Structure 1
């Protein structure tokens, strides 16, 4: 009898031990690039993972920090990541020049977060003050790619503002140390910058103040992956947007979740960033769904970029070249 019970227990343990991995194997694996490192503004993907929004749709996600819009677009186009997040305007400008086989499928932000950020006492309080000054930023970042559009709207010569190549994690410290006069940053990055500056107040020059119709970040996917796995694309998108909506509704939960997955991040700063991001995801008066995009608005953005000469002469860009609607 004791032998029989021992054998039965061994069989049960073997079966139980195999159940977890077998279930995990049933999940469809996808890879995802954040827009820019792992700051609080990108934490909604970790929220979706922690809350089980991906798993409930049969998705297992590998999350990798991105290094700016242009890099994200190229990696997704090359099949080195299935999904990524890139600024919509930077995406439009890049696709007009290179025609990468990617498409946007959801607007993370209904308003652009792009900005130039400096500190009080720097002598920069308006766009004209940037002429002749040094701005730190990652080459190919949203802020740098979009800057000519912002400069035209501000009435300044973009060529008279020097961009200094700088790694994303070092930007707040470079600004605080006075090694650059300003940095390319999202408007929600002020808590991180002020923490690095030890009490000095941030001065924010948002691109959206002068070019208000621009979308912010957007979810991108390669056209090949979208074509061969449309159900997987829809499931992933739905889960990510559920994570985004949960994050902006419960910002206090976001910081601790991010820190669980990225221990070097400051939970308080991350939660503050997400709270600041909420009105960009769902602006006042916006009645559409989280992540929504319209063909009419994309067409208007294209016209803005053409007028700013951000799209090369002779290049014809249509809304369907940039986004998949519905």
Structure 2
């Protein structure tokens, strides 16, 4: 199970490239895929991250139907697969990080951010074993993380702050779940993981988080991202998705015990474990969304884009024109 993939070096991931080749192979020469008509079922993808499980609540409580949109929720065990599905048009919408969206756009995908789900404020962590108390002490050590994920990005941020680069550590790329298991088994000295895999990693005796997303406020924002095709052909459906999200947050606030059961079940963890993730995920209210879309996100996107280029995680800076579509959160009735 993976989350929050930053895009494989140098641009689109290998998996995405293969998917694109497969799509091309299935089409006849000159054939163009027809866009689904307005009013059709919208496929919304999400994966393992505390800030995205409210979508499960929206689905189970009929909040999409309430807002006039027919939605098929598609849960991805692999976050990378969800990114590739959106980039290739297999799904219409997906919850993903701004980092990943920028990387996809840099590779040619046409996507728009229409909602801020949350900011990671501690649930992405660099966890080290006994004897390591700071990122500076990672020099010469083995560090595992899923290459191209935001936890790889967090590692690079933490190393840079400590005056180091990836060349100063022995980086071992592996899937997030495998990385957490390898760390617990003592096969690597440190690991970059996100919740709920932080819980797994911290089972190693003497382990501790030496850097988290809380140390880099706003560096890892999460969003509802849709294809620009959907924005143009069915804006009412996009509005329905956005409005359903805020209805879900309201329902969760009014029925918290039941909501926690729904979200913990989807996450595959206990309710108590799920509640422990609350402090590490800052859910954005409607007001906070509107503030973010009033210029804050533009500055954050430029900062992330510059970092992706300087760290050689993408070949070139993504075009930012059309990236943000603020009209949908502005139209939500409080």
| TM-score where L is the length of structure 2 | 0.70
User: Which residue does 2:297 correspond to in 1?
Assistant: 298
Partner secondary structure for residue 118 of structure 2: coil
Residue 89 (1) aligns with residue 108 (2): no
Q: Is the 8 A contact 2:125 2:192 kept in 1?
A: yes
* C-alpha distance 246-193 of structure 1, shift in aligned 2 (>3 A): farther
Structure 1's unaligned 5+ residue stretches are 1-26
Which residue, out of 267, 274, 296, partners 2:271?
Answer: 267
Residue range with higher mean Cα deviation, 72-81 or 109-118: 109-118
Name the structure where helix makes up a greater proportion of residues. Answer: 1
Structure 2's unaligned 5+ residue stretches are 1-38, 328-334
Deviations 1:158-196 (A, max 9, x none): 2333443333334433322222222222367544544xx
Q: Is the 8 A contact 2:44 2:71 kept in 1?
A: no
Tell me which structure has the larger Cα radius of gyration. 1
| TM-score where L is the length of structure 1 | 0.72
User: 1:216 deviation in Å?
Assistant: 1.6
Partner secondary structure for residue 203 of structure 1: strand
Residue 44 (1) aligns with residue 45 (2): no
User: Which residue does 2:7 correspond to in 1?
Assistant: none
Residue 33 (1) aligns with residue 36 (2): no
Instruction: Name the CA distance, whole Å, in 1 between partners of 2:78 and 2:89.
Output: 16
Partner secondary structure for residue 299 of structure 1: helix
User: 1:90 deviation in Å?
Assistant: 3.4
Query: Following superposition, which runs of at least 4 residues in structure 1 exceed 6 angstroms of deviation?
Result: none
Q: Is the 8 A contact 2:183 2:204 kept in 1?
A: no
Pairwise CA RMSD? 3.5
Residue 67 (1) aligns with residue 72 (2): no
- The number of aligned residues is 286
Instruction: Name the CA distance, whole Å, in 2 between partners of 1:291 and 1:244.
Output: 16
Partner secondary structure for residue 218 of structure 1: strand
Residue 156 (1) aligns with residue 167 (2): no
User: 1:291 deviation in Å?
Assistant: 7.5
Which residue, out of 262, 269, 276, partners 2:279?
Answer: 276
User: Which residue does 2:63 correspond to in 1?
Assistant: 53
